[in-house]
Amino acid sequence: MSAFRLPGRGRIDVARPVAFRFDGKAMTGAAGDTLASALLANGVHLVGRSFKYHRPRGLLGAGVEEPNALMGVDRGPGRHTANVRATTIELHDDLTVETQNRWPSLGFDLGAATNLLSPLFPAGFYNKTFMWPRSAWETLYEPAIRRMAGLGKAPHAIDPDRYTARHDFVDLLIVGAGRAGIEAALAASASGERVMLIDEQPELGGKLLANPARWDWLAGALTRLDDAGVVCLSRTTAIGLYHDGFVGAVERLTDHLPPATATGPRERLHRIRAARIVLATGAIERPLVFADNDRPGVMLASAARTYLHRYGVAVGKRVALMVTHDSGYQVAFDLAEAGIGIAAIVDSRPDLDPSLKARASDLGLELIPHAVVIGTHGAKAVTGITLAPLGSRQVRKIACDALLMAGGWTPTVHLWSHGKGKLGWDEALGAFVPEGEMDRVTCTGACAGAIDPGHGVHAEALWSPRDPASFKAFVDLQNDVTARDIRLAVREGFRSIEHIKRYTTNGMATDQGKTSNLNGLQVAAGALGNTAPQVGLTTFRPPYTPTTFGALAGSAKDALFQPTRKTVIDSWAHAQGAVFENVAQWRRARYFPRASEDMDAAVARECRAVRTGVGMFDASTLGKIEVVGPDAAEFLNRMYTNPWKALAPGRCRYGLLLGEDGFIRDDGVAARLADDRFHVTTTTGGAARVLGMMEDYLQTEWPDLDVWLTSTTEQYAVIALQGPRARDVIAPHVEGVDLSPEALPHMAYAEGRICGVPMRLFRVSFTGELGFEVNVPAGHGLAVWEALWAEGQRHGITAYGTETMHVLRAEKGYIIVGQDSDGTLTPDDAGIGWAVGKKKLDFVGRRSLARPDMLLPDRKQLVGLLTDDPHYVLEEGAQIVDVPNAPVPVPMIGHVTSSYHSPTLGRSIALAVVAGGRARIGETLFVPMADKTHRVTVSEPLFYDREGARLDG
C-alpha cells in the first residue's frame, strides 16, 4: 500500500489492486478509485498544464468542478477522448491516460516559456497587437496562436463505439442523489408515481459519500427506493433543462469498464419529459484567490475530505488550510483524526466560533486567525506557504505539502438557469440562489441554498501586502485568468459581467466556471465599486458538463442518418445494374447501363427506345395526396392556380401551386376520381412540403372547408409506360378499362384492374409520347412491374431512369420545378401562364401576381438555347450575357437551367431563363465560361413535336 493510502478508511476495495498507465508509467490503484484518487495515493500532485501559461497544475477538486486535471484517455484505436477530468475517470484495469498540452513532457514543458512572457499577455492582448504588418496576421501570428491554443489531442480516427437514446416519461424527475435528492425521492416513493432519480456519479449519495456517519442511512434509503420502484440512474448527467419539463440527460454505460469487457452502447441519451422536476444538484466549494494559488497541492478542502473518506487517501502528510468559512474546520478535524499532520489553519476572520476554536485546540491544531496566505512555494508541488496577519507586513512561512481552501459554497443552479429561472443574492451564502417560481420545477437542498453550511465571509480576493497588480492570483485556473486580468478588464471599460467574461475568458473553460464564476464576479464587483448582486451573473448555458457529440447524434449515423427511401421496384433496378442518384430523401435509378456503356450512351439508348418503341419508368417517388370531402374541388381551386370545379370525374389536369409571393412552388397532375375525391400528385421533393402547406391553409385559413388530406405517396407504386407502343404492353393485362384513344384520351383517368390487382390508370405523359401511369397498391408494385416487363419484351421494352426522363421532358420544354424554376419564377415567366385560371377570383399567390414587378417585360422568362456548336453541351448554371467580353462586373441576363445532348435531335439543347427572353427569340446571346465564350441562339423552349401530335397516339 502506498504511503498516502490510509488503512481502514474509504468506501473502496483497497484489497483489489488495479493497474493503470499514467503518461506511460505503470501505477497501481484500488478498485473504486477515480484516477484522481489513485494518483494522489501514489503521491502524484502534478497532473496538468494550464491553457495559456502552461503552469504546472494539480488537482483542485474531486468532482466535475475540476479545472486542472484534464486527461487524454485512450481505449484503443478511434477511442481517444480528450479533456476528461481525472476526478471523473473511474479506475479500471488497462486504463491508459496521458496528460495534455505539454511538450516534451509534463515535468519539463517548453510551453512554460509563455509564463515568463506573461506580462505581455494580459487579458485581451490579442486585440491590441499582431496587426503589423497586415499580412503577418495570416501567415505568422494566427498560425502561432492556433498552435499554442487547444488543450487535448485533435481527433483523427473514427470512433467505433455506438450511442443510443431513449425517451422517458415520469411524474417526478429528481436531479442529484445527495441527501436532498434522496429525501425527495423517498417522500414521493409512496405515492405510486413514476419517480426517477439521476446522479452523475458512479454511486448515489452525493456528499454523503464523504460522510461515514451517514453511510448506514444511505444504504437503507437506497434499498427503500429500490423497493418502491424508483428508477435510480447513476453515471447519468442532466445536461440541460428545456421548455415544458424537458430534461436531456446522458448516461455513461461503458467507460468505467476495461475496454476488453465493454460491450453495448457507450452512452445513452435520455430525453426525459417530467410532470415535475426537483433540482437537488447541491453546491460546489469555492476556492480562494491569492498569489500563486495554482500550485499543485493547493486544493479545495471538501475535495480533501472526499479523498479521505471515500477513497482512503491522504492529500498530504502535513496539510495547511486557508479558510474564510467554517466548513473548512470539519475537514481539518477529520484529517487530524485520521492521523494526518495539520500545519496550521489560517482564517481571515478575527472572531472565530468558540466551539471550533475549542475543538481545534483539543486536537492540538495551530489556529491563526485574522491572517491570510499571501503566497505559496515549491516548483511542481507546494512545499510551503507565506502568510501575513491582515494589514500587516510581518510575514511568516510555514512548510506544508498541501494547502486546502475553504471559501464557502456556491449552489449549483445551472439547470435552474437553463430554464430561465431567476436568481437572487443570498448575503449569508455570498452566492446566488434560485428565486421565484418556475413551471414544474423546484429546487431543494444545497442547490436551493436551504442547507446551512456554516458561517463565512466572502472576500473577493484575499488581502495582500503586495501590489495586487504585481502577482498572479488565479480565478479561472484552466484559462489562466487572474484577478488582475479582471481588474484590467474593468479598467478598460468592460463593466458588464458578460463583457468581463468575454474579455478575460473567465468561466469559459471546460469546467464552465464552476469554481471561477463567483470569484470572478466578486473581484469584478470590487474593482467596479459595486456589490455582487448589482454586477449580476453571466448566463449558464447547457450542457452542465461537456457532452459527447456521439451521444447527441445517437444512432442517426450512416444509413440511419436519414433513412433512404426506396420504391418497391428499387430492388429490381438494383438487380438490373442501375446507377442511382439521391433525389430528396429517395434514391432513384438514374440510368441502366448495359455492358460498358457510360451515362451518355445509356441515356441515348433509353431515349431512343421511348421515342420509337416503349420505355418503362419507376415514377413511384412522385408525391401523392388524396384530397377528399364535399369541398375538395373548392379547396384545390383555392390552393392551385387552375380551375378545378368544372373538371369532370375521370379527367386529369396539370396543377400549378404558387406561394403567397406568386412564385412557383410545385406542380403535378391531379385526377378527379369522383365529385368529392381527387388524386393529386406533387414533385418528388415537394410532397411533404405541399401537404404541410395544404394542411396549414386548411387548418388556419379555411377551417370551414370540409376536406381531408391524406398522404398516399407510399401507398401506390407508379409504373410509367411511355412511347408509341405503350398501350400494347398494358393492354393484355388490363381489365375493366377501355384503353382506346376515344375512351381514354390524353389526360383521362380510369379505374380497373391490372394483372388482377386494383389499378388507378392515368393517361398522362412527361415525355411527349403516348403514356400511361399505372398506379397499383405498393405491395403489388414489383409483381406488376415484372409482369409488364415480361410482356414488354415482345415490344423491345427498355427501362429508363431519371436522366433520360430529364432529357425527354427537356426536348418537350416541360419544366422541372426546382431546376428550371428556383422560387423566383411566376407562371408566366415559366411559360405556363395558361395554367392560371383567368376567371378565378382567388388562389394562393394571386394577389402577388398583380404586383408591379411581376408585370415587367424584362422579367426572366423560360426559353430554349441552341449552341452554335451542336456538340457542345452548356453547363447547367452557366450565366448568359448579351454583350460578350464586357468588363467585370459583367451584366448577366439569365442562366442555363437544363442542358443535355438530345439523342432525338442529334444535337445539344438547353433550357434557360433570360430577361425578356420571349422577345429575344432568334437573337444571339453569349455564355461566357472561364476558358471560352459560347454563342447561343434563343429559341422556343420546345424542341420536338411542336404540335404535340405524338401525345394522342
Partner 1 sequence: MTRFSAATLLAKAIGHHKGWPAQWPDAAPKPSYDAVIVGAGGHGLGAAYYLAKKHGITNVAVIDKGWLGGGNTGRNTTIIRSNYLYDESAFLYDHAVKLWDGLSQELNYNVMYSKRGVLMLAHNVHDVQSFKRHIHSNRLNGVDNEWLTAEEAQAYCPPLSIDPNARHPVLGAALQRRGGTARHDSVAWGYARGAAALGVDIIQNCAVTGIRRGADGAVEGVETERGFIATRKIGVSAAGNSSVLMDMAGLRFPLESFPLQALVSEPVKPFFPCVVMSNTVHAYMSQSDKGELVIGAGTDAYVSYSQRGALHIVEHTLAAICEIFPVVRRMRMLRNWGGIVDVTPDRSPILGKTPVKGLYVNCGWGTGGFKATPGAADLLAWTIAKDEPHPINAPFNLDRFRSGRLIDEAAAAAVAH
Q: Report 507-536 residues binding partner 1 (CB under 8 A).
A: 508, 510, 512
Q: Contact between 543 and partner 1 (CB under 8 A)?
A: yes
Query: What's the CA dihedral at 383, 389, 392, 394 to 10 degrees?
Result: -50
DSSP string, 693-734: HHHHIIIII-TTS--EEEE-GGGEEEEEEESTTHHHHHGGGE
Smallest separation, CB 684 to partner 1 (Å):
11
Measured from the CB atom, the residue of 131 and 646 that comes closer to partner 1 is 131
Measured from the CB atom, the residue of 405 and 880 that comes closer to partner 1 is 880
**Is the bond into 133 cis (omega within 30 degrees of 0)?**
yes
Sign of CA dihedral 21, 25, 31, 32: negative
Q: Contact between 116 and partner 1 (CB under 8 A)?
A: no
Contacts with 283 (C-beta within 8 Å, 6 or more apart), sequence order: 409, 410, 411, 412, 431, 446, 447, 451, 453
Window 674-693: residues binding partner 1 (CB under 8 A): none
Measured from the CB atom, the residue of 147 and 354 that comes closer to partner 1 is 147
Q: What is the DSSP letter of 583?
A: E
Q: Contact between 439 and partner 1 (CB under 8 A)?
A: no
Smallest separation, CB 83 to partner 1 (Å):
5
Q: Are 202 and 12 in contact (CB under 8 A)?
A: no
Cell 441576363 -> residue: 893
Q: Contact between 390 and partner 1 (CB under 8 A)?
A: no
Residue 478, number of CB atoms within 10 A of its CB: 28
Q: Contact between 19 and partner 1 (CB under 8 A)?
A: no
Q: Which ranges of 769-920 does DSSP label H, i.e. alpha helix? A: 778-792, 802-811, 846-849
Residue 719, number of CB atoms within 10 A of its CB: 27
Smallest separation, CB 546 to partner 1 (Å):
4
Q: Which of 474, 580, 644, 663 binds partner 1 (CB under 8 A)?
A: 663
Smallest separation, CB 892 to partner 1 (Å):
6
Measured from the CB atom, the residue of 230 and 911 that comes closer to partner 1 is 911
Q: Are 227 and 192 in contact (CB under 8 A)?
A: no
Q: Are 339 and 363 in contact (CB under 8 A)?
A: no
Measured from the CB atom, the residue of 853 and 947 that comes closer to partner 1 is 853
Window 766-825: residues binding partner 1 (CB under 8 A): 818-819, 822-824
Pairing of strands 748-754, 734-735: antiparallel
Measured from the CB atom, the residue of 565 and 760 that comes closer to partner 1 is 565
Window 255-314: residues binding partner 1 (CB under 8 A): 269, 271
Measured from the CB atom, the residue of 26 and 120 that comes closer to partner 1 is 120
Q: Contact between 947 and partner 1 (CB under 8 A)?
A: no
Smallest separation, CB 263 to partner 1 (Å):
18
**Bridge partner list, 720:** 617, 773
Measured from the CB atom, the residue of 854 and 919 that comes closer to partner 1 is 854
Measured from the CB atom, the residue of 378 and 813 that comes closer to partner 1 is 813
Contact range with partner 1 by CB under 8 A, out of 32-40, 132-140, 203-211, 336-344 = 132-140
Distance of alpha carbon 385 from alpha carbon 721, whole angstroms? 90
Count Cβ atoms within 10 A of the Cβ of residue 799 and give its class: 0-12 exposed, 13-18 middle, 19 or more buried.
Answer: buried
Q: Contact between 547 and partner 1 (CB under 8 A)?
A: yes
Measured from the CB atom, the residue of 189 and 908 that comes closer to partner 1 is 908
Distance of alpha carbon 905 from alpha carbon 946, whole angstroms? 13
Q: Which of 562, 596, 793, 885 binds partner 1 (CB under 8 A)?
A: 562
**Bridge partner list, 821:** 817
Cell 483497497 -> residue: 14
Instruction: From 717, 657, 671, 674, select the one nearest 844 (Cα to Cα).
Output: 657
Window 441-500: residues binding partner 1 (CB under 8 A): 467, 469-470, 484, 488, 491-496, 498-499
What distance lies between CA 470 and its chain's CA centroid? 43
Smallest separation, CB 540 to partner 1 (Å):
10
Length of the chain: 953
Q: Contact between 2 and partner 1 (CB under 8 A)?
A: no
Smallest separation, CB 495 to partner 1 (Å):
6
Measured from the CB atom, the residue of 80 and 295 that comes closer to partner 1 is 80
Distance of alpha carbon 354 from alpha carbon 270, whole angstroms? 49
Measured from the CB atom, the residue of 661 and 940 that comes closer to partner 1 is 661
Q: Which of 113, 131, 140, 260 binds partner 1 (CB under 8 A)?
A: 131
Distance of alpha carbon 897 from alpha carbon 916, whole angstroms? 16
Distance of alpha carbon 852 from alpha carbon 193, whole angstroms? 64
Window 219-258: residues binding partner 1 (CB under 8 A): 240, 242-243, 246, 248
Cell 439569365 -> residue: 894
Cell 492556433 -> residue: 146
Instruction: Tell me, by CB under 8 A, how many residues bind partner 1.
Output: 114
Q: Are 750 and 762 in contact (CB under 8 A)?
A: no
Window 79-98: residues binding partner 1 (CB under 8 A): 79-83
Window 146-165: residues binding partner 1 (CB under 8 A): 146-147, 149-159, 161
Q: What is the DSSP letter of 448?
A: G
Smallest separation, CB 924 to partner 1 (Å):
18
Q: Contact between 167 and partner 1 (CB under 8 A)?
A: no
Contacts with 890 (C-beta within 8 Å, 6 or more apart), sequence order: 879, 881, 928
Strand ranges across the sheet with 716-722: 734-735, 748-754, 757-763, 771-777, 716-722, 615-618, 798-799
Cell representation of residue 278: 426537483
Measured from the CB atom, the residue of 89 and 878 that comes closer to partner 1 is 878
Window 410-429: residues binding partner 1 (CB under 8 A): 418, 420
Q: Contact between 548 and partner 1 (CB under 8 A)?
A: yes
Q: Contact between 735 and partner 1 (CB under 8 A)?
A: no
Smallest separation, CB 649 to partner 1 (Å):
36
Q: Contact between 78 and partner 1 (CB under 8 A)?
A: yes
Smallest separation, CB 561 to partner 1 (Å):
5
Window 875-904: residues binding partner 1 (CB under 8 A): 875-879, 881, 888-890, 892, 895
Contact range with partner 1 by CB under 8 A, out of 41-49, 105-113, 202-210, 579-587 = 579-587
**Bridge partner list, 90:** 34
Q: Which ranges of 3-104 does DSSP label H, i.e. alpha helix? A: 35-41
Measured from the CB atom, the residue of 324 and 464 that comes closer to partner 1 is 464
Smallest separation, CB 653 to partner 1 (Å):
26
Measured from the CB atom, the residue of 16 and 420 that comes closer to partner 1 is 420
Window 597-656: residues binding partner 1 (CB under 8 A): none
